[in-house]
């Protein structure tokens, strides 16, 4: 009899341990992630006399796949539009938290005698909260729709992006063993170029591609296509010198912009859960109880540091970003755990052999303890806020009120500021795209062309290809925003603005000439002066080409359609609504109507959300259609996503009511789901109340939920009789319905006959 391969037997041990332990943790109402880590302790070599994994290398491969799926799923939950719209609150708070926690972690590491690099890695680990744990806790407590939850999730988005950048910088630092400014800057610029190029390219092509093949997609093909995109971007990221996690996150964010994003997220969820479980089990396998006993003091210090530091820096960061104290404290208390990125950063340091061996099990132990404390910290936020509000000095309260009031008003921004910001963004994006395309062309395409067309002719072919590819972007760099309302306003405002405006345009022209000179000199090896003249002539051709202008406008229109979808107008209206509302906790929340909801089929006027809960419906998303500011006559349908605006209390009351109605409807459905339908027959007896009445008059479908499919009369079979068919005595009626309904029908006929007799 053949033996089972170690890969399969090890996977069996991992999944059996994970299944048993997580059942226990679900019963104890503890986070499942914590159960996976404990399962890893039992499946690893730390516990003797139990079946353990024989080949840890295999599990490491599975765990690497788990990291890819975890980051891919995170990207699906945070679309690129959300990444751009998290706002200054999330950015300011996240930067403040990460900076503060990295300083605390580095200082604590030095005080406890850790090495220099270990202390730096420790600071990076402690600065990252857990997206998975926070999501799970908010779902368990029903807090996803509250205002502070949106702030927390925005902070987590920014922290995830910071973590990706941090991984690149720490890798560079680990290799060089010291801070080298140019190396760090080169890595950062390379990362920015990679993100900008593939993000812009992905948003332009992927949603359009999926729309065109949508009729061929089902759950199976869409899952395969999504994972193909994911692992394709993973390969591109690793080939470019970045981590697989970065590629998975980027592709998840790109697929989140497609019309199939919600469906992709649902079908990927089981795969992500499986490999994510293996990853967290592998984390638990790295724990060594002996090391934990040796460093129990450091573990307790780091736990206290995480809890106190995240509460302090989280609260101060959110207040600094302009949010009320209550929201800030709820956010700070929700972030008090060490997240998944800490394990990834710890694995990075361990694989590069630049951190002390004890750091991995120590940070895992800190994560386990802080994860266990997370639900209690979230519950503690409101009592702590009430205590602080009660004992806050009046002078500090007035100072805080004046500071926050500045964020509730619309600030005037100068026309120059708006113009330069929009120009800088567009020129930066097009410049990065052009440089990246030039790099790809000179590395792969030009050698292919020059092998087949030699000499000047080959150079001309290469130049023509590059102008076709880069032409729309060069036109955009020079011409974009030159006719914007801000530009025109400044130009008309006075002669003092015209010289700076001309200088701005001239700078853009020089940028394009520099790009074209690089191309011309590389292809034809001419002098700089000649190259500048040729480049200037080529740029004139590009700027005055109507074909390139139309090409750019088509590209921009397609890109903005994919990025904004049909939600752009609604978002503008929503931002306007929020800007005029004076309440500090008024915010937007999304709800998806289940097929079992009792609201389906009713109009907004009939359900009366505003009268019952005080909330307003600002949008209904139905498939690819978005209905902005819907009228009262709008009918709700299954899977509608309704966007409501209200306070935390109003939205929570609405959520509870919707959930209660769904539970009541599900009970009714479950009570009937096992009641099968049958085909039965009965005879219409003499004197029956059916005799002399038509099918329509009797109303069997409405009264007893039975359907007449046929009638036998004097040896003749009448299939699907019309509703005007009149019953006669001795008719044999064939009906379809639940057994109890058919028996009830037969019983009613007998009762009627007995009364007559």
Do 600 and 692 reside in the same domain of the chain?
Answer: no
Three-class secondary structure of residue 672 per DSSP:
helix
Do 612 and 554 reside in the same domain of the chain?
Answer: no
Answer whether residue 339 is part of any domain.
yes
Answer whether residue 578 is part of any domain.
no
pLDDT of residue 405: 56
Evaluated on CA atoms 327, 328, 333, 339, the torsion sign reads positive
- Domain end position, chosen among 614, 637, 672: 672
* DSSP-derived secondary structure letter, 737: E
Do 103 and 148 reside in the same domain of the chain?
Answer: yes
Answer whether residue 618 is part of any domain.
yes
Q: What CATH number is given to the structural domain containing 244?
A: 1.20.1530.20
Strand 707-713 and strand 732-738: pairing? antiparallel
What single string gives the DSSP state of each residue in 583-636? -TT-EEEEEE--TT-TTTT-BHHHHTHHHHHS-EEEEEEETTEEEES--TTPBP
Q: CA 437 to CA 467: how far, in whole Å?
A: 11
Q: CA 483 to CA 505: how far, in whole Å?
A: 11
List residues bridging with 710 in a β-sheet: 719, 734
* Burial (0-12, 13-18, 19+ Cβ within 10 Å), 733: buried
Q: Domain range spanning residue 712?
A: 677-756
Among 73, 88, 62, 91, smallest CA distance to 131 is for: 73
Do 117 and 246 reside in the same domain of the chain?
Answer: yes
pLDDT of residue 567: 43
Do 540 and 466 reside in the same domain of the chain?
Answer: yes
Strand 641-646 and strand 616-622: pairing? antiparallel
Tell me the average confidence (pLDDT) per consecutive run of 10 residues in the chain, 757 residues long.
Answer: 70 85 81 79 70 70 79 73 61 85 86 81 84 72 73 79 73 60 61 74 78 80 89 85 77 79 82 82 74 81 90 87 82 84 75 74 82 83 86 78 56 60 75 80 85 83 86 83 76 68 82 85 80 84 79 70 49 39 60 75 80 79 77 81 79 76 63 63 79 80 76 84 84 79 61 47
pLDDT of residue 570: 40
Alpha helices in 635-681 (DSSP H): 648-672
Answer whether residue 643 is part of any domain.
yes
Answer whether residue 440 is part of any domain.
yes
* DSSP-derived secondary structure letter, 694: B
Answer whether residue 8 is part of any domain.
no
Do 248 and 111 reside in the same domain of the chain?
Answer: yes
Do 497 and 533 reside in the same domain of the chain?
Answer: yes
pLDDT of residue 316: 87
Q: What CATH number is given to the structural domain containing 609?
A: 3.30.70.1450
pLDDT of residue 575: 40
- Taking the alpha carbons at both ends of the chain, their separation in whole angstroms is 79
Do 729 and 664 reside in the same domain of the chain?
Answer: no
Q: CA 549 to CA 540: how far, in whole Å?
A: 13
Give the containing element (helix H, strand E) for 77: helix 56-77
CA 505-526-511 angle, 5° bins? 15
- Domain end position, chosen among 512, 537, 564: 564
Do 284 and 258 reside in the same domain of the chain?
Answer: yes
Q: CA 250 to CA 166: how far, in whole Å?
A: 16
pLDDT of residue 663: 67
Do 223 and 303 reside in the same domain of the chain?
Answer: yes
Strand 677-683 and strand 641-646: pairing? unpaired
pLDDT of residue 78: 66
Answer whether residue 454 is part of any domain.
yes
Q: CA 438 to CA 440: how far, in whole Å?
A: 5
The distance from CA 740 to its chain's CA centroid, rounded to whole angstroms, is: 48
Do 474 and 611 reside in the same domain of the chain?
Answer: no
Q: In what order do the strands lie in the sheet with 677-683?
A: 677-683, 732-738, 707-713, 716-719
Domain tally, the chain: 4
* Burial (0-12, 13-18, 19+ Cβ within 10 Å), 442: middle
Q: How many CA atoms lie within 13 A of 232 on its CB side?
A: 13
Do 380 and 255 reside in the same domain of the chain?
Answer: yes
Evaluated on CA atoms 49, 51, 54, 56, the torsion sign reads negative
Answer whether residue 697 is part of any domain.
yes
- Domain end position, chosen among 513, 530, 564: 564
Q: Which residues contact 373 (CB under 8 A, 6 or more apart)?
A: 307, 336, 337
């Amino acid at each position: 009899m053949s033996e089972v391969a170690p890969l399969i037997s090890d996977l069996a041990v991992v999944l059996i341990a994970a299944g048993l332990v997580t059942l226990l943790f679900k019963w104890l109402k503890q986070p499942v992630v914590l159960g996976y880590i404990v399962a890893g302790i039992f499946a690893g070599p730390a516990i003797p006399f139990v079946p353990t994994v024989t080949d840890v290398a295999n599990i490491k491969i599975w765990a690497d796949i788990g990291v890819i799926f975890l980051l891919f799923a995170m990207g699906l939950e945070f679309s690129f539009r959300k990444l751009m719209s998290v706002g200054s609150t999330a950015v300011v708070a996240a930067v403040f938290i990460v900076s503060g926690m990295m300083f605390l972690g580095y200082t604590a590491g030095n005080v406890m005698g850790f090495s220099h690099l270990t202390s730096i890695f420790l600071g990076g680990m402690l600065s990252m909260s857990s997206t998975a744990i926070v999501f799970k806790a908010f779902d368990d407590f029903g807090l996803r729709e509250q205002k502070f939850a949106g702030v927390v999730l925005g902070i987590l988005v920014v922290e995830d992006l910071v973590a990706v950048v941090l991984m690149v910088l720490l890798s560079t630092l680990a290799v060089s063993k010291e801070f080298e400014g140019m190396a760090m800057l080169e890595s950062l610029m390379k990362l920015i170029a990679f993100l900008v190029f593939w993000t812009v390219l992905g948003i332009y092509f992927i949603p359009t591609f999926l729309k065109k093949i949508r009729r061929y997609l089902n759950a199976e093909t869409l899952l395969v296509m999504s994972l193909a995109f994911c692992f394709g971007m993973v390969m591109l990221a690793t080939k470019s010198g970045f981590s697989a996690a970065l590629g998975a996150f980027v592709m998840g964010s790109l697929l989140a912009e497609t019309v199939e994003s919600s469906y992709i997220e649902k079908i990927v969820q089981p795969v992500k859960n499986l490999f994510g479980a293996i990853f967290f089990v592998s984390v638990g396998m790295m724990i060594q109880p002996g090391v934990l006993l040796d460093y129990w003091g450091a573990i307790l210090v780091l736990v206290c540091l995480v809890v106190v530091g995240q509460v302090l820096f989280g609260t101060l960061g959110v207040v600094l970003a302009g949010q009320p104290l209550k929201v800030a404290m709820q956010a700070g208390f929700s972030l008090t755990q060490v997240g998944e990125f800490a394990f990834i950063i710890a694995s990075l340091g361990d694989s590069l052999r630049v951190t002390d061996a004890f750091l991995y099990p120590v940070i895992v132990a800190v994560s386990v303890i802080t994860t266990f404390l997370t639900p209690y910290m979230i519950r503690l936020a409101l009592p702590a806020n009430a205590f602080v509000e009660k004992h806050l000095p009046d002078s500090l309260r007035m100072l805080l009120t004046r500071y926050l009031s500045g964020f509730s008003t619309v600030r005037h921004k100068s026309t120059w500021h708006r113009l330069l910001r929009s120009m800088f963004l567009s020129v930066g994006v097009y410049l990065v795209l052009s440089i990246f395309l030039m790099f790809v062309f000179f590395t792969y395409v030009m050698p292919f062309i020059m092998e087949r067309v030699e000499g000047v002719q080959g150079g001309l072919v290469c130049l023509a290809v590059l102008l076709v590819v880069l032409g729309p972007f060069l036109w955009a760099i020079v011409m974009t925003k030159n006719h914007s309302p801000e530009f025109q306003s400044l130009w008309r405002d006075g002669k003092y603005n015209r010289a700076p405006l001309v200088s701005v345009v001239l700078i853009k022209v020089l940028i394009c000439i520099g790009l074209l000179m690089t191309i011309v000199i590389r292809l034809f090896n001419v002098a700089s002066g000649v190259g500048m003249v040729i480049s200037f002539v080529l740029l004139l051709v590009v700027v005055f080409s109507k074909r390139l202008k139309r090409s750019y406008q088509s590209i921009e229109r397609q890109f903005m359609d994919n990025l904004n979808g049909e939600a752009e107008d609604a978002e503008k209206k929503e931002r306007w609504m929020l800007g005029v509302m004076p309440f500090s906790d008024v915010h937007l929340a999304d709800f998806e109507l289940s097929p079992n909801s009792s609201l389906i089929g009713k109009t907004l006027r009939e359900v009366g959300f505003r009268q019952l809960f005080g909330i307003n419906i600002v949008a209904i998303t139905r498939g690819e259609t978005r209905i902005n500011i819907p009228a009262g006559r709008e009918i709700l349908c299954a899977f509608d996503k309704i966007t409501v605006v209200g306070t935390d209390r109003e939205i929570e009351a609405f959520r509870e009511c919707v959930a209660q109605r769904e539970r009541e409807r599900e009970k009714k459905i479950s009570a009937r789901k096992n009641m099968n339908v049958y085909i039965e027959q009965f005879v219409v007896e003499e004197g029956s109340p059916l005799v002399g009445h038509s099918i329509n008059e009797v109303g069997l479908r409405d009264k007893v939920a039975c359907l007449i499919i046929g009638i036998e009369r004097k040896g003749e079979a009448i299939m699907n009789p019309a509703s005007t068919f009149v019953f006669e005595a001795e008719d044999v009626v064939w009906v379809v319905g639940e057994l109890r309904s058919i028996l009830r029908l037969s019983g009613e006929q007998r009762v009627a006959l007995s009364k007559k007799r």
